[in-house]
Chain A
């Protein structure tokens, strides 16, 4: 990488008043043909391109994006990263991702601001506490860190949390994953884009795919608003619009797209140094490095592509946050937004082959895809490069809905992402 970021490049650019930093990645023109075309330049698509180049030496790759890079769900989540999933299949996938997160800033030479501040998943009922014990035990059997903490321990760690036994939904305890945390969502997309670009990947923005070209059940390329691009292999990584792309290629998905909303408060001084999630009152909250409280909601129940949801969801979410943190009751909210999330029946992603030969899909991350960004790209790059899933994503095939081998992660996916 000729434009390597370091203390020396910082000092050198300080001499020119930081006016001569080069572009972080090229604005590429589409070529007539690529070995691999990835549809969707969000975190997952860019990570896929990066690992294709890094792990498999495949650099004749284009990432085509209908809007701008990282402008979809990568920019619309609450940046929480954790791997405390119940079943072996998901635990291996999300833990692979968490391990990649741990070295990602160094690997990409780009600060993704990964902060392992820990995540508490609160339990408010005896049944929730039993589920938390089960999940933590399952995590530890899979080599994932986690512990069960009681209300007294939470109170010491998060003094402003309402741990009173007189609360309407008293906190009985919690799971705690110390290695979990948050990352800078845009930085992840930019870091992967820059690192993929440096290895020769073309990132083509404002290039909407309008058709998926096929010849006898095999993909041959994509039709886009900037012309036809031929490709030996195509990967669809478009989250909420997966069904639209699948429809172009002539197959159906077990996915419904829903609005998922989140919001941030005005910035305040540091008050919350970890991540708190609660399934029972249905909200989750952390504080960004800028000082904003980042608050996430549940999905709107109806299907929608509108990148906005209903006001009552925001109201319910803020009621939940106020239940947990009465001290935040007078915080003013600064921004709110919605993303389109692709929900599968078993709250588990689909990463693998499609009925069309050489066309692969990575979707169904639903409400919890951000945490998986590097791991998702890593396994999908393997799938694209070899034509077969990696053992880590073998269970996440589209045909599990036919065989019945579902990976039901509603418990671990729950609210909370």
Chain B
């Protein structure tokens, strides 16, 4: 169990949040022009690193906001937390 410092509400137990998957995945701009392989890569393939992971969380039992987290997947230590739309450079280092 760890705490997450919600950028809107402040530090709360991780239990108040739901994990919302890998961050920074972009939907292909022109879906009809992508190949099946590119679409599968966008839809299903994940980095799943052992180390720093750029991910999204949502404060479901709080403000309801989505935000970005950079977290280490072995130590579970959180490196940085940013609001949606804030660049990695503004809030810390990205993976």
Contact = CB atoms under 8 A, between A and B. Distances in A.
Interface of A: 241, 243-244, 247, 252-257, 301-306, 310-312, 345, 401-403
Contact of A304 (B18, B37, B73): B73
B50 A241 contact: yes
B30 interface: no
Contacts of B50: 241, 243-244, 257, 305
Interface in B18-33: 18-19, 21-22
Contacts of B14: 302, 310, 312
Contacts of B18: 301
Interface of B: 1-2, 13-15, 18-19, 21-22, 36-37, 39-41, 43-50, 53, 55, 71, 73-76
A244 B19 CA distance: 21
B40 A401 contact: yes
Given A303-B55, A402-B40, A257 B15 contact: no
Contacts of B73: 257, 303-306
Given A302-B55, A306-B76, A310-B14, A253 B1 contact: no
Given A301-B19, A305-B74, A312-B15, A256 B48 contact: yes
Given A302-B55, A310-B14, A310-B15, A402 B48 contact: no
Contacts of B71: 302
Contacts of A257: 48, 50, 73
Given A243-B46, A257-B48, A402-B40, A306 B75 contact: yes
B46 A255 contact: yes
Given A252-B46, A345-B44, A311 B1 contact: yes
A289 B2 CA distance: 35
Nearest to B41: A252
A163 B51 CA distance: 46
Contacts of A401: 40, 43-45
A310 B15 CA distance: 9
The 8 A-B residue pairs whose C-beta atoms are closest, nearest first, are: A254-B44, A243-B48, A252-B45, A301-B19, A310-B1, A402-B40, A302-B19, A401-B44
Q: Please indicate which of the listed interface residues A243, A244, A305 has the most CB atoms of chain B within 10 Å of its own CB.
A: A305
Given A243-B46, A256-B21, A312-B14, 18 more contacts: A243-B47, A243-B48, A244-B49, A254-B45, A254-B46, A255-B46, A256-B22, A256-B46, A301-B18, A302-B71, A302-B76, A303-B53, A303-B73, A305-B73, A306-B76, A312-B1, A312-B13, A402-B39
A312 B76 CA distance: 16
A256 B73 CA distance: 11
